[in-house]
Amino acid sequence: MKTKRIFSIILSILQALLLLGIAVLLRLERNYMGVMRYMANQNRIWNQAAWSDWVSAATAALMLCLLIWAVIMTRLTYPKNKKKALVSWTPLAVFSLSAAAFVFMYDTPAIRGYYYISGVLVAVTLLQVIKCALIKR
């Protein structure tokens, strides 16, 4: 029981650090020309890759599936254990919705760190899936 709680806290700290990394990346990109050029160059390279078109669509589809799963599990869990539903499944729904919205709404010309931010949002969402799996059923 305590190891699950400790593992969940470690995952929460890792999620917070990843989200903080997005903020740091956006600030560095905005304030330093070298970071801006590096991101623009990486976007050019990744946009020319064959996988760049379908990875965004697959990521958005995965996040929407996780959103649907989280909503269903919240609905099933809420009448029995309100705290469990609000603590685990609701953040999963929020993270998956924000990741899917980011992938759908933005593109590399709008945000130079698009691929990095998309990857971090997916990682944060998958860490939340692991935290949801730790909960007793």
Domain count, the chain: 1
Q: Alpha-carbon distance 22 to 91, whole Å? A: 18
Most confident of 2-6, 14-18, 87-91: 14-18
Average pLDDT over residues 95-120: 84
Which token pair is 128?
């939340």
Nearest C-alpha neighbor of 14 from the set 135, 90, 132, 128 = 128
- Residue 78 to residues 81, 85, 88: CA-CA distances in angstroms? 5, 5, 11
Percent of the chain with pLDDT over 90: 23
What does the mean pLDDT of the chain come to? 84
Q: How does DSSP assign 32-79, residue by residue?
A: -HHHHHHHHHHHHHHHHSTTHHHHHHHHHHHHHHHHHHHHHHHHHHTT
Which token pair is 3?
């190891």
Judged against a pLDDT cut of 90, whether residue 19 lies above it is answered with yes
Range of the domain at 60: 2-134
